Amino acid sequence: MRTLIFFFSLVLLLAGQPPRGRHHDDESFAERRVHDLTRRFDLSEAQRRQALTIFTEADRSAEPLEDRIEQARRNLRDATRRNATHAEIDQLAAIVGTLAGQLEAINAKADTAFHNTLTDKQREELPRGPRGRKGPPRPPK
C-alpha cells in the first residue's frame, strides 16, 4: 500500500502537482478525515476531538498491518513468478485475505465508534450505501 502511495506521489511530484498521499500539508490521514467530516456534518468541538482520537488510533493500529499486507502481496507475487504450487499460492493468498480482513475490522470499528458520537440528525445525513446512496446496494444487472 505504501509503495503504491509512494509511486503515485512520485508521479504527481514529477508532474509538478502536490502529492495527495497520507502525508499531505503536514496533516495526518486522521486530521484530514476529521476536517472533511466536520465540513460534512458540522461537528462540534467535542465531536471533532473524539473523532480525531478514534481515527488516529485506527491509523496507528492499521499501519503495521498495511506493512504486513504489502509484504504478503509481494510474497504472493513472487510465488507466482517462480511457478509455486497451487497449495502455496492458496496459502499466501489466504494470508493476504486474513490481513485485509483485519484491516477492514479496524476501519469498521473506527467508523462505528465515530457513528456513536453523532447526533440523530447527523446520523440521518450519513450515507448508508455505496457512493452515498441510502439503503442496500442495488443488485447487478
Biggest CA–CA distance in the chain, Å, is 56
**Chain centroid, CA 80 distance in Å:** 27
Who wins on pLDDT, 137 or 39?
Answer: 39
Residues β-bridged to residue 27: 24
Handedness of CA 96, 22, 122, 45 (dihedral sign): positive
pTM higher than the cut 0.85: no
- pLDDT tens digits along 11-51: 444 444 444 444 444 578 899 999 999 999 999 999 999 99
The domain spans of the chain are 20-123
